[in-house]
Amino acid sequence: MNKYYNNLKKEVKDYFAILCPDFPEWLNEYINTKEVLNQQYISVTCGTIYSDLFESDFFFSSLDHSVAVALIVWNFTHDKKETLSGLFHDIATPAFKHCVDFLNGDYMNQESTEDLTSEIIKNSQEIMALLKKDNIKVSEVDNYHLYPIADNDTPKLSADRLEYSLSNALFTYKLLDANTIKEFYDDIEIEKNEENEIELGFKTKKIARNFVKITSKLSIIYREDRTRYSMQFIADILKRLNDEQKISKKDLYELKESEIINIIESSKYQKIFNMWKTAKKVKISEQKPENVYYVHHGAKVRYIDPLCKGIRISKSCKIANKMIEENLSYKMDNYIYLDFKID
């Protein structure tokens, strides 16, 4: 039974159909394993969807993202190993996603949970049985960095970076409609970059430039004041509850986000958590604020400078280059706070 796909919202099914018009049926067995299905209870917004600081109201799960990445990889490569590496790339993602990187002090790279990928796959009898049937080794699917279509270094365009750009623009922040998503996607092809490696790129300069316009907006959203504050706030609440033995790190991999929120709202942090949930705007200051909980650090810079006919769009288009430069100049040196402290 295809328990995942059959229960998808129509909007997500339609989006998947853009990414890969013929859904690969063989993928369903892997999707419907326990370890992969666990991702359906994790929001890609790293918990920000739960606060009125953000306009997000569409729950697009970490599993939706992983399946979409797999569909993009399959669409361009028709390679099972590369496609599975895309499906599994976030299998080690805990509740609240990259907030746990903030918890681990890894807010600049946001990769602190990836080392568990191999372990989770190896410990899954279901996944291992499927891999054996398909004559695929764990080492061929547990590291999507091996495959440049699936993943590559910033600011290159990969399936992972493309997917979260499209779905965040479509569902989370409503910057684009489905027709524009399709226009972007249909213009993409596999090209050779300046290092003679394969990479996803655009055929048309105007479309590539419009893509940069959208992804530059998203790039700032991913690290703006309200986002850094919220992710560190959630991380610090989780750390306090972990220190108090109310939540274990294991719980972050086994409980749904909704279940962890119930624990938070049953704790002494209920009041401040609800203040964050209902806040409309964070406060900022150049000076360290007194007697309040504040956040004062940077975050990972996610941006894309895609190829267009084998050349970086920043090299061939002054407008795109200016948008990228303005994005990269965004300052992250303010103190950010709301009017409460964590006791």
pLDDT tens digits, residue range 167-176?
A: 999 999 999 9
pLDDT of residue 99: 79
Tokens of 243: 């220190």
Tell me if 211 is assigned to some domain.
yes
Query: Residue 147 phi/psi, 5° resolution?
Result: -120, 110
Tell me if 41 is assigned to some domain.
yes
Asked whether 286 and 335 are in contact (CB, 8 A), the reply is yes
How many C-beta neighbours within 10 Å does residue 339 have? Answer: 11
Average pLDDT taken over every residue of the chain: 93
pLDDT of residue 107: 43
Render pLDDT for 243-259 as a digit per residue (tens, 0 to 9).
899 998 889 888 999 99
pLDDT of residue 47: 92
DSSP result, 181-229: HHHHHHTEEEEE-TTS-EEEEES-HHHHHHHHHHHHHHHHHHHSHHHHH
Q: Which of 150, 12, 8 is nearest to 88 (CA)?
A: 150
Query: Residue 312 phi/psi, 5° resolution?
Result: -55, 135
Q: Distance between terminal CA atoms of the chain?
A: 49
pLDDT of residue 103: 67
Asked whether the predicted pLDDT for residue 146 surpasses 90, the reply is: yes
Render pLDDT for 78-118 as a digit per residue (tens, 0 to 9).
999 999 999 999 999 899 987 776 566 654 454 555 568 99
Number of domains in the chain: 1
Tell me if 245 is assigned to some domain.
no
Tell me if 240 is assigned to some domain.
no
Q: What percent of the chain stands above pLDDT 90?
A: 85
pLDDT of residue 104: 65
CATH code, domain carrying 164 = 1.10.3210.10
Q: Among 163-167, 299-303, 330-334, where is mean pLDDT lowest?
A: 299-303
Tokens of 5: 């796909």
Tell me the C-alpha distance between 233 and 237, whole Å. 6
Tell me if 56 is assigned to some domain.
yes
How would residue 310 be classed by pLDDT, with cut points 50, 70 and 90? very high
Tell me if 263 is assigned to some domain.
no
**Residue type at 236?**
D
Helices marked H in the chain — which ranges? 3-6, 10-19, 27-31, 34-37, 62-77, 80-88, 99-103, 117-122, 125-133, 159-167, 178-186, 205-223, 225-243, 251-254, 257-265, 270-278, 313-316, 318-328
Tell me the C-alpha distance between 279 and 51, whole Å. 7
**Structural domain boundaries, residue 186:** 3-224+301-328
Q: Which of 178, 183, 177, 176 is nearest to 206 (CA)?
A: 183
How would residue 1 be classed by pLDDT, with cut points 50, 70 and 90? very low
Asked whether the predicted pLDDT for residue 151 surpasses 50, the reply is: yes
The mean pLDDT value for 178-191 works out to 98
**Residue type at 134?**
D
Q: Tell me the whole-structure pTM to 2 decimals.
A: 0.94
Tell me if 241 is assigned to some domain.
no
Tell me if 209 is assigned to some domain.
yes
Asked whether the predicted pLDDT for residue 2 surpasses 90, the reply is: no
Q: Among 2-16, 107-121, 164-178, 195-209, where is mean pLDDT lowest?
A: 107-121
Asked whether 160 and 89 are in contact (CB, 8 A), the reply is yes
pLDDT of residue 106: 55
Render pLDDT for 109-126 as a digit per residue (tens, 0 to 9).
545 555 689 999 999 999
